[in-house]
Chains A and B, each alone.
Chain A
Amino acid sequence: MRVVVVGAGLAGLTAATDLAAAGITPIVLEASDRVGGRTRGIEVAPGAWADAGAAYLGDRHTELRALLDQLGLKTVPTTMLGASRFALDPSGHARSRDGRFPPLNAVAIGDLFDKLDELTSQLPKHAPWLHPRAAEWDTMTAQQWARENLPHPDARTFFPLFLGEMMAADPAAISVLHMAFYLRSGGGTRYLNAFEGGAQNERVDGGSHQICEQLAAALPEPVHLGDPVRSIHQTSTELDGTAGQVHVHTEKACYECDAVVVAVPPLLADQIDFSPALPLSRAGTRTSPGCAVKVHLVYPKPLWREHGLSGWSVSARGPLTSTVDDSPPDEAAGVLTGFVTGADVYEFAALSLVEQQEQARAQVRLLFPELPDPIAVHVTDWVNAPYSRGCYAALMGPGDWISRGPHLTTAHLRVHWAGTETSTEYFGLMEGAIRSGHRVATEILTRYENLRRSR
């Protein structure tokens, strides 16, 4: 049996690996000039790597952990010691404080989390659109919800920062149903928010990009890089077990196969020309790219630790609404990762690299005046990355979940879907991508058993 996999991120490569283990030699087509998708490594100092994309994992990310074990990759804890810096009042002045809790009204923040918990706890995990209030929550944006439900100014200050950090979303861009689903899918607000004991418990030592590099290297045939898929043509609408009914066209070639896995985000899947046409586009009318730009500020070593600081900061005004210490464990370099998320992203992404670097430096000078200027500033813009279109994951706007949710994994004849956006478990995370890859491989191996036997 011949299978083409479109997209060499975690989902596509997990699927390809499973198919290869079953004796199939998958053809993997990747538009970009590298594998990894939304995982990407940058070498910030000789031998010192930082995650320009997906970075963190926790104990519940069982498929990712199993994969890391299999590949012999280790993790490093994200333990934060020392004081945080918060710039949350209008003066923009940064204040030190022990731990990660911001200097905001704790009762108001608790009330926000109570309300989020009410939304998430009763949501059917694998079918959020079935909740009795799903239709109502699907029409309202998270911003409208906040206006109606968060009377306290501190909760209103905190809410967009929280959603930015959790899901790289502007509250105006997502439905309440998507917010509730995402938080539930990731294990609930506490798990998703926590470093120690939560979804940010560890990082992959040396960078998460190594996972895809290793998976790709172990495939029976190398991944075709720089080969974007333009169209997928299916010659028959019958699923009668005949072979060779799918033609995948790239600019360079045409690949004939029996089934295809499309493992790219929904906005990119919609750029492929399908014939027969998809009954429903993959993205909804309000689906938008995950709004994240990651900025790495590089120092000779984690100098903030010498000042009793953890490197963690939260600012009400961007561009860097939060910073975190992502230094390699051997302290070969100090890496402060700044996150630009949500509504700020488009404005920041429109600046020149020099302006972006200057804004990041200026903000870090205000937050951490005791630090010298960083020796390098790297900017990774995911919103405009042509073959990712957003990070962490696609943002579902009003109307999108009700219309698209029930069809996330429904094959279009012999075109099957993968990607973190097709996983109701750990949607938007590396874990979701890997689970979707395993799911789609099983789907193919089960459905085309006759084709597998005939060859």
Chain B
Amino acid sequence: MTVTAVSEIFRRVLAAPDVEADSDFFDIGGDSLLATRVLSAVSREFGTELTFDDFLNARTPAALAQRIASAR
């Protein structure tokens, strides 16, 4: 479930439809500014506050979902 929801956040923030579970955010148009918008969305939707470095170490929806799950 979380992977789908995180993919949806990526799509919304990047305004791009093509996001797969293993898409690297920074390879599909993401940059540091947009990364913060993913993190604010994650915080709102999952109640989990991640750092910028957390995201750098988990750049795909699958990895980020896992990171969110482990933080909860």
Contacts and interface: CB of A to CB of B under 8 A. Distances in A.
A110 B55 CA distance: 13
A105 B42 CA distance: 14
Interface in A226-272: none
A357 interface: no
Given A110-B37, A110-B40, A100 B32 contact: yes
The 9 closest A-B pairs by CB, nearest first: A110-B40, A110-B36, A101-B32, A106-B52, A109-B36, A111-B40, A107-B43, A110-B37, A106-B39
Interface in A278-333: none
A131 interface: no
Interface residues of B, number: 19
Given A101-B52, A107-B49, A194 B36 contact: no
Interface in B20-72: 29, 31-43, 49-52, 55
Interface string A86-100: 000000000000011
A101 B40 contact: no
Contacts, number: 54
B65 to A, nearest CB: 17
Contact of B41 (A100, A101, A110, A194): A110
Given A99-B32, A101-B32, A190-B34, A106 B41 contact: no
Q: Is the contact region of chain B dominated by helix, strand, or loop, or is it mixed?
A: helix
Most buried by B among A99, A107, A196: A107
Nearest to A101: B32
A151 interface: no
B67 to A, nearest CB: 13
Contacts of B36: 101, 106-107, 109-110, 113
Contacts of B41: 110, 114
A190 B34 CA distance: 7
Interface size class of A (residues with CB under 8 A): 20 to 34
A197 interface: yes
A189 B39 CA distance: 17
Contacts of B51: 106
A113 B39 contact: no
28 contacts: A99-B32, A101-B32, A101-B52, A106-B35, A106-B36, A106-B40, A106-B51, A106-B55, A107-B36, A107-B40, A107-B42, A107-B49, A107-B50, A108-B40, A109-B36, A110-B35, A110-B36, A110-B37, A110-B38, A110-B40, A110-B41, A110-B43, A111-B43, A113-B36, A114-B40, A114-B41, A190-B34, A197-B29
B32 A107 contact: no
Given A110-B36, A110-B43, A114-B41, 8 more contacts: A107-B39, A107-B40, A107-B43, A109-B36, A114-B40, A194-B33, A197-B29, A197-B31
Contacts of B31: 190, 194, 196-198
A196 B33 CA distance: 12
A310 to B, nearest CB: 13
A111 to B, nearest CB: 5
Contacts of B37: 110, 113-114, 117
